[in-house]
Amino acid sequence: MVDAQRLDDWFLSEVMPLEPALMRFLRRNWRNGSEVADLRQELYVNLYDAGREALPSQTRAFVFRAARNLLINRALRGQVVSIELVADLEALNVADATAGPERQVAARDELRRLQIGLDRLPPRCREVVVLRRIEGLSQREVASKLGVGEDTVEKQMLYGMRALIDFMLGGSGKIRRGAAAQTPKAGEL
């Protein structure tokens, strides 16, 4: 058993940085783009559960192998099994996808990406995120500055956080707005 802190550290420092490459891999190899986020989540659960037993020595190869297997299983489970797709996946050279030196991403590119991500947010949402996260105002200060309620600020923040994070990690930055329109108190979750 791997202890919890070490497992979280591994996930944060070795798995998460692969997300941009992983998303490219999933999008390239899965036809239904709207399912990619679900696939990612399922994959993360599998990886984390596998990590509980032992951490892999080669995280990158491990992650992409697991991604490939997940795609194959999904394809087989699908109602209409596309033999073609499965064959494609079997032949997929995972090494290709794993070779990219993701770590070389320049800081400048990341900062530019953050800028673009911010620009893509709806105007009110962007304003809230910038004031809160970048200018460092408190939720109450943001609310009074913009003349809206704190619950509005919270709602905008939640959307902004998710969209921005998604975009920063190589996603489209398009998030389905919450059905959880009621925002429960933390204790009620």
Partner 1 sequence: MSDHSAIEEHAALWRHRQEQPDWTAQDQAALDAWLDESTAHRVAWLRMEYGWQKVGRLASLRSPAPAPRTRRPLARFWRPTAMAAGLALAIGLGSLVATDSFTRHAYVTEVGGHATVPLADGTKIELNTNTKLRAALAEKQRTVWLDRGEAYFEVAHDASRPFVVYAGARKVTVLGTKFSVRRDGDRVVVAVVDGRVRVEEVKATKPPAIVTRGDTVIAEPAATLVTPKSIDRVESELAWRRGLLEFDKSTLGDAAQEINRYNRKKLVVEDPQAGAIRITGSFEAENVDAFARLLRQAFGLNVQEDGDEIRISS
| Cβ atoms 143, 149 nearer than 8 A | yes
Q: Is the dihedral of CA 24, 26, 31, 34 positive or negative?
A: negative
| Cβ atoms 89, 81 nearer than 8 A | no
Nearer to partner 1, 149 or 178 (CB): 178
d(CA 13, CA 8): 8
Least distance (Å) between residue 11 CB and partner 1: 5
Show the tokens assigned to 79. Answer: 């109602």
Nearer to partner 1, 10 or 92 (CB): 10
| Cβ atoms 92, 100 nearer than 8 A | no
Nearer to partner 1, 17 or 27 (CB): 17
Residue numbers 92-131 binding partner 1 by CB under 8 A: 103-108, 110-112, 114-115, 118, 127, 130-131
Q: Is the dihedral of CA 153, 157, 160, 162 positive or negative?
A: negative
Residue numbers 25-54 binding partner 1 by CB under 8 A: 37-38, 40-42, 44-45, 47-49
Which of 85, 110, 116 minimizes the C-alpha distance to 19? 110
Site string for partner 1, 156-185 (x = CB under 8 A): -xx--xx-xxx-xx-----xx-xxx--x--
Nearer to partner 1, 38 or 96 (CB): 38
d(CA 168, CA 178): 20
Q: List residues near partner 1 by CB under 8 A.
A: 8, 11-14, 16-17, 19, 37-38, 40-42, 44-45, 47-49, 57, 103-108, 110-112, 114-115, 118, 127, 130-131, 133-135, 138-139, 154, 157-158, 161-162, 164-166, 168-169, 175-176, 178-180, 183, 186-187, 189
